[in-house]
Amino acid sequence: MPVYAYKGLSSEGRAVAGVIDAESPRSARVKLRRTGVFPTDVAEDRAPAGRRATTYALPAFAERVPTQELAAVTRQLATLAAAGLPLVEALAALAEQTEREHLRRAIVQIRERVTEGRSLADALAEHPRLFSQLYVNMVRAGEASGALDVVLERLAAYTENQARLLGKVRAALTYPAVMLVLGSAILFFLVSYVVPKVTRIFQETQQQLPRLTLVLIALSGFAARWWWLLLLLVGAAVLGLRAYGRTTTGRERFDRWVLRLPYFGTLVQKLALARFARTLSTLLASGIGLLPALDIVRNIVGNTIIARAIENARDAIREGQSIAPPLRESGVFPPLVVHMVAVGERSGQLEDMLGKAADAYDNEVENAVGSLTTILEPLMIVFMGVVVLFIVLAILMPIFELNRVIR
């Protein structure tokens, strides 16, 4: 639906401006008059210079908003709501300040739904690619409790915390990943292009070559001749693993295998536990019940094994048990989390204890990522050095043999 920028006068005679979605300029004027705004200028709102307004449906990855930007929008809305500004006006101001095109259009549509009498949570739920189930449910709880600004502040803090933690993990793993890709590409180039030119000289001398050189010649010949087959096999393997990972059985086996990996599995578990504790604490503090909160948390931990343990805990609570015993029986949650949950249940401060557990695991994740980076870098250097040493020895050994024969 097109979006129109308008200027006009409010019922009090105050100059107002904003954006509105409508089928046509005439429909936009009718909508504005219904809200008490008398438009003086209505024109289709086009993207700023350097950005082309999209009139087609964007793919899923293009509609996603960076977590940090979503946190900033949430905090701005919380500030406007806390200042006493009506929700419709706050959303209009937010749309004017938003630079990302599809997010701005979504906010305009949300404002229209709110103007029509829908709740903010229901309006947000119409945009699941932008606003998660967690986001919508927290807003719904804030509207029901009359503390929307407080809940939005908590939601912004939670989103910023998640963005900061994931940003540190990505930043720490980016360098090893780039080194691995570049190193593999360089080695492939050496083996498939450079080495065959050098080893051809040895083959022309008709001398008996060392076994190491013969292995290198065989590898380089295979890479030079069948490089396209290697790329096809790698691509097929990646696509096959992704397809298998989308199945229930494949995802479960993959998640179980990841948790069993040395060191890396512990890091994945700590990330999931930190997300579990932080999210559950934020939901409970926002007034959402324990059972629906566990339903939400189960869908965002990112690991089916841990999600199943949370689901079992939810079922046990529904039958009248406390949350700590089923978490302990799962074997996935460490004693620290189980103990803090049990203490929080007995003291009636479960959300506070979960927040402290989340802080502890955030620190452990940061330390684990730093240690993992420290270990990965020398391992990659040693691996690259071994491969280069193999190539150098395979090339130099025939040269030494040739010099000995000449002497």
pLDDT digits (tens, 9 = 90+) for 195-240: 777 777 776 666 677 788 788 788 887 877 887 888 899 899 999 9
Same domain, 318 and 363: yes
Tell me what pLDDT residue 287 has.
Answer: 81
194 and 87, same structural domain? Answer: no
Shared-domain flag, residues 109 and 184: no
The number of beta carbons lying within 10 Å of the beta carbon of residue 248 is 8
Q: List pLDDT tens digits, range 93-152.
A: 888 787 777 788 888 888 888 887 888 888 888 888 888 877 888 888 888 777 788 888
Quote the pLDDT of residue 205. Answer: 67
Domain end point (choices 158, 184, 211): 158
Q: Quick one: 22 and 120 in the same domain?
A: yes
**CATH code assigned at 241:** 1.20.81.30
Task: Clarify whether residues 277 and 180 are in a common domain.
Answer: yes
Same domain? For 206 and 111 the reply is: no
Q: Which residue range is the domain that position 71 belongs to? A: 3-158
Farthest CA pair distance, the chain: 105
Do residue 396 and residue 313 come from a single domain?
yes
Task: Give the number of other CB atoms < 10 A from CB of residue 362.
Answer: 21
Specify whether 190 is located in the same domain as 74.
no
Same domain, yes or no: 346 and 331: yes
Angle ∠(269,275,279) on CA atoms, nearest 5: 150
Question: Domains in the chain: how many in total?
Answer: 2
Q: Are residues 247 and 383 in the same domain?
A: yes
CB atoms within 10 A of CB 243: 10
* Residue entry with tokens 């990972």: 245
Q: What is the identity of the amino acid at 326? A: P
One DSSP character per residue, 117-176 reads T--HHHHHHT-TTTS-HHHHHHHHHHHHHT-HHHHHHHHHHHHHHHHHHHHHHHHHHHHH
Task: Give me the count of residues in the chain.
Answer: 407
Q: Determine the number of helices (DSSP H) and then strands (DSSP E) in the chain.
A: 17, 3
Q: Are strands 3-9 and 15-21 parallel, antiparallel or unpaired?
A: antiparallel
Q: Look up the pTM and report it.
A: 0.65
Mean pLDDT of the chain, nearest integer: 79
Residue (of 12, 20, 16, 22) closest to 40 by Cα position: 16
Burial class (CB in 10 A: 0-12, 13-18, 19+), 67: middle
Q: Which of 136, 158, 180 represents a domain boundary (last residue)?
A: 158
Residues 280 and 183 grouped into a single domain: yes
Residues in the chain where the model's pLDDT stays below 50: 47-62
